[in-house]
């Protein structure tokens, strides 16, 4: 297992697939989550040479996010903790495959993983991992909670194409050979699927959820442009996304795209109503009538 401090020192050719596994377990290398993550790695390495990098969050002095608005408005270079955050982002950008792995703590992800995600909030506004493939691994004693959902949504916000996720109940994994075999096959299979996705010449078609997220943020960025030029608009414009249906070029279902735009429109209208009230939908006429009524 490659250590966090020796990432990339495997001597593998640059043409090989680079796998990054982010471990959010406080137990780090000794935990069940790290053990299971190695099954995904083994599945990929059964296909060809893979360069592995394990990022153990319990070995990194990652403080709480000091000021979320700075990286969003001025870029990660303005982050008070950029000396720590920038190398983490560089490792994410270097990888072809990103696996987020964490045990369940209080029905959610661990504080370590949550802190890691919080420091990457600017990627929600300016995704830069849209060429990556991902997988989510969650371990729990019994109740799975929202762990897979939270990590999957975070990765999707960064632009990652998440192939899937799995909750592993460790009590059953330890006591039931049948369950253990199913999980082993599933994780090894996930590794092979991730490898195949990296080698595929045709980019995967986006899911409805991915289209909704992209269309929502494209609308937000375009609206921001009316108010004030921003790093968000610059990033989206430079990548050519303002006139595209999705980050990646390729086949996009016309029906999914229509549904995504309807969902986004309904969400934007609901948000406007919550902020401005129902008069927002009726325009200035309703506001003028209401003002005249008050004067009368």
Residues 147, 23 share a domain:
yes
Output the average pLDDT for the chain: 86
Tell me, yes or no, whether 97 and 153 share the same domain: yes
Does 171 lie in the same domain as 25?
yes
Task: Give every strand in the sheet of 97-103, ordered side by side.
Answer: 50-56, 17-23, 97-103, 133-140, 161-169
The pair of structure tokens assigned to 182 is: 């199913």
What is the pLDDT averaged over residues 244-268? 90
Contacts of 27-30 with C-beta under 8 Å, sequence gap 24+, read 27/58, 28/56, 28/58, 28/59, 29/1, 29/56
Question: pLDDT per residue over 92-105, tens digit each?
Answer: 999 999 999 999 99
Residues 163 and 286 grouped into a single domain: no
The answer on pLDDT for 14 being more than 80 is: no
For the ranges 129-133, 204-208, 258-262, which has the lowest average pLDDT? 204-208
What number is the average pLDDT over the span 39-50?
94
> Domain span at residue 58?
4-199
Highest mean pLDDT pick, 147-161, 238-252, 268-282 = 147-161
- Domain count for the chain: 2
Least trusted range by pLDDT, from 28-37, 74-83, 165-174:
74-83
Write down the H helix ranges in 7-121: 32-45, 68-74, 82-94, 111-118
| pLDDT at residue 36 tops 50 | yes
**Domain finish residue from 199, 226, 257:** 199
User: Could you say which of 199, 229, 261 is where a domain stops?
Assistant: 199
pLDDT digits (tens, 9 = 90+) for 107-148: 889 999 999 999 999 999 999 999 999 999 999 987 777 899
Hunting for tokens 């996009």 — which residue is that?
Answer: 252
**At residue 5, does pLDDT exceed 50?**
no
pTM of the model as a whole: 0.85
Is 70 exceeded by the pLDDT of residue 282? no
- The whole-angstrom separation of Cα 277 and Cα 258 is 27
Same domain, residue pair 165 and 245: no
* 159 and 89 inside one domain: yes
Whether 26 shows a pLDDT value over 60: the answer reads: yes
pLDDT exceeds 50 at position 157: yes
Tell whether the model's pLDDT for residue 3 goes beyond 50.
no
Where do we find the tokens 């009316």? 226
Please give the average per-residue pLDDT across 43-54, as a whole number. 93
Task: Answer yes or no: do 99 and 194 share one domain.
Answer: yes
- Structure tokens that stand for 265 in this block: 């429109």
pLDDT-based confidence at residue 226 (cuts at 50, 70, 90) = low
Final residue before a domain boundary, out of 199, 222, 252: 199
- CATH number of domain containing 147: 3.40.50.360
Choose among 96, 87, 84, 157: nearest CA to 122. Answer: 157
Whether pLDDT at 292 is above 60 = no
Indicate if 30 and 167 belong to the same structural domain. Answer: yes
Same domain, 241 and 153: no
124 and 270, same structural domain? no
Same domain, 105 and 125: yes
Who contacts 1 (Cβ-Cβ below 8 Å, separation ≥6)? Answer: 29, 34, 38, 52, 54
DSSP state of 242: G
| Interior angle at CA 294, CA 289 and CA 296, nearest 5 | 90
Report whether 130 contacts 159 (CB < 8 A). yes
Residues 57 and 26 both lie in one domain: yes
């Amino acid at each position: 297992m490659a250590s966090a401090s020796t990432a990339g020192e495997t001597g593998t050719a640059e043409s090989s697939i680079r796998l990054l596994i982010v471990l959010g377990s406080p137990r780090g290398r000794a935990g069940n989550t790290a053990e299971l993550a190695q099954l995904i790695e083994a599945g990929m390495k059964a296909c060809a040479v893979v360069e592995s990098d394990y990022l153990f969050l319990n070995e990194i002095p990652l403080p709480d996010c000091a000021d979320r608005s700075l990286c969003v408005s001025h870029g990660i270079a303005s982050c008070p903790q950029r000396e720590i955050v920038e190398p983490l982002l560089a490792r994410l950008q270097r990888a072809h495959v990103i696996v987020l792995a964490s045990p369940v703590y209080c029905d959610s992800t661990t504080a370590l993983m949550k802190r890691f995600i919080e420091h990457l909030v600017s990627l929600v506004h300016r995704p830069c991992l849209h060429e990556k493939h991902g997988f989510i691994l969650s371990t729990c004693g019994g109740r799975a909670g929202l762990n897979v959902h939270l990590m999957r949504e975070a990765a999707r916000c960064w632009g990652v194409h998440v192939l899937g996720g799995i909750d592993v109940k460790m009590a059953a994994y330890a006591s039931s050979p049948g369950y253990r075999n199913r999980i082993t096959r599933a994780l090894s299979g996930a590794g092979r699927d991730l490898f195949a996705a990296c080698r595929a010449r045709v980019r995967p078609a986006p899911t409805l959820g991915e289209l909704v997220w992209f269309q929502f943020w494209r609308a937000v960025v375009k609206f921001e442009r009316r108010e004030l030029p921003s790093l968000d608009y610059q990033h989206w414009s430079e990548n050519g996304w303002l006139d595209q249906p999705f980050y990646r070029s390729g086949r996009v279902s016309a029906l999914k795209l229509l549904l995504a735009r309807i969902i986004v429109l309904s969400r934007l209208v609901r948000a406007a109503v919550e902020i401005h009230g129902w008069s927002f939908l009726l325009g200035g006429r309703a506001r003028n009538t209401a003002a005249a009524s008050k004067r009368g």
